[in-house]
Structure 1
């Protein structure tokens, strides 16, 4: 019995630690998304709700292992006490009312988030189905790329027959954009305010391409098409395929743009031939 009790207490402490770690992770996710980026903020809200729901379900399932019709409420109460260990010992009635209202609001937001998660899942499935059809008609299939700030560069890297690092692609992209400021500056703006970049703002943006895991988009793809002297085509579910660098005659590098697949928003994947061996896969990337 004592061993079981000790194990239960260790589990409670672990749950408490995991909840704190999740809150720190969520805060980091929030800091990485601009406040005025409504689309990515909405996706962030959905993913935060999902992460919290998954942890609550996991903890509840672990607690149920110790249920014996008498101690589950005690375990849950102990966990709740640990969550509130830093709260003042005496809470006013007004504070209790505010906490109850906040709890009810959290429950309401969680219900809304769950409904939106289910709605988003249908969007994701529909997007994947359409992309599969588009790629299948070209005897291609999706090749998954890690969902991080480097996904566009990694997808380009995957399409090349020569070895190159993501860091090198970022440096070459930044250098090209710096040397051709006048070609890119008119199309550059602050993602948080929407205001057009000044020349200094744009040069700082070029610095970020190298020094951070800033997401790449059409400006960076345009620069890379010139750096590699190769067309880059971007396949989408809801819009026609975009071809960047059409002036070049080499075989295009092919990327897939996905709006709904990633936790924090848009994502790029690579492609590969359907049921292709290594030789055929390499031939696809020739340019």
Structure 2
């Protein structure tokens, strides 16, 4: 009995640690998404709800498995109660009825939010499947298929890196992009404004934005793509499921880099992937460089 109770305590302590680790991870995720980007914030909340639900399910399964291994441990419930109070201070010995009602309402609201989050995740999954099917049709017509790129904030640069015939790091691509934009401030500054106020960027605002390109895992977009097309002296095509192909650097004659822009590819929304020749994927061989 004593050995099983010790093991049960270890499991519960680990569960508490994993919950705290998830909370810390959620804080990092929230810091990576601008508060002004309501769409990404909404998708972030869905992802947080999914992660919390998965952890809760994992913990429940582990406790059920333990109960199966030690079915005769009647004193384990008291151990659970004691551990649940470890982080509380000055906890009164008797919980008032009003407090119980509040806890019940909180629990019911959490269940409701989890159901909503689950329904939204299913809805998002449907959009994702539909987008993937349409992109597969578009790419197949060009004898191409999707090549997955990690969704780590560097996806646009990694997708370009994947198709270059020469070796270059993501850090170098970011640095060269920022350098080009700094040297051509007047070409890019008119396209920048504060996402919250709508005010036009000052020159200092723009230069700080360029610093973030180098120093942070910030998402890249059309403006960075335009700068990269000049840096590489190469056209860049962006294929989407619901829009015509977007091309920057049309004045260059090299074979273009081809990216796939997806709205519903990952939990934070927009994402860039690379492409590869369809034959290579079909036979399982290595995809040749596209340019």
Q: TM-score, normalised by structure 2?
A: 0.90
Give the drift of 1:261. 1.2
Secondary structure at the residue paired with 1:257? Answer: strand
Secondary structure at the residue paired with 2:59? Answer: helix
Partner of 1:241: 245
CA contact (8 A) 2:163 2:289 kept: no
Quick one: structure 1 residues 81 and 33, their matched pair in 2 at CA, closer, same or farther if it must change by over 3 Å? farther
Q: What RMSD in Å do the two structures reach over aligned CA positions?
A: 2.3
Partner of 1:205: 209
Quick one: structure 1 residues 140 and 77, their matched pair in 2 at CA, closer, same or farther if it must change by over 3 Å? farther
Choose the corresponding residue for 1:154, options 155, 158, 164: 158
Provide structure 1 residue ranges, at least 5 long, that are not aligned to the other structure: none
Secondary structure at the residue paired with 1:234? Answer: strand
Secondary structure at the residue paired with 1:67? Answer: helix
CA deviations over 1:209-254 (Å, ceiling 9, x no partner): 1111111111100000000010000111111111111111111101
Provide structure 2 residue ranges, at least 5 long, that are not aligned to the other structure: none
Bigger CA drift: 262-271 or 67-76?
67-76
Secondary structure at the residue paired with 1:66? Answer: helix
Secondary structure at the residue paired with 2:270? Answer: strand
Give the drift of 1:136. 1.1
CA contact (8 A) 2:5 2:79 kept: no
Question: How far apart, in 2, do the equivalents of 1:227 and 1:150 lie?
Answer: 17
CA contact (8 A) 2:5 2:76 kept: no
- Tell me how many residue pairs correspond in the alignment: 285
Partner of 2:287: 281
CA deviations over 1:105-126 (Å, ceiling 9, x no partner): 2221111101101111111111
Choose the corresponding residue for 1:225, options 226, 229, 235: 229
Question: How far apart, in 1, do the equivalents of 2:161 and 2:189 lie?
Answer: 26
Secondary structure at the residue paired with 2:212? Answer: helix
Q: TM-score, normalised by structure 1?
A: 0.91
Secondary structure at the residue paired with 1:272? Answer: strand
Question: How far apart, in 1, do the equivalents of 2:76 and 2:183 lie?
Answer: 64
Secondary structure at the residue paired with 2:272? Answer: strand
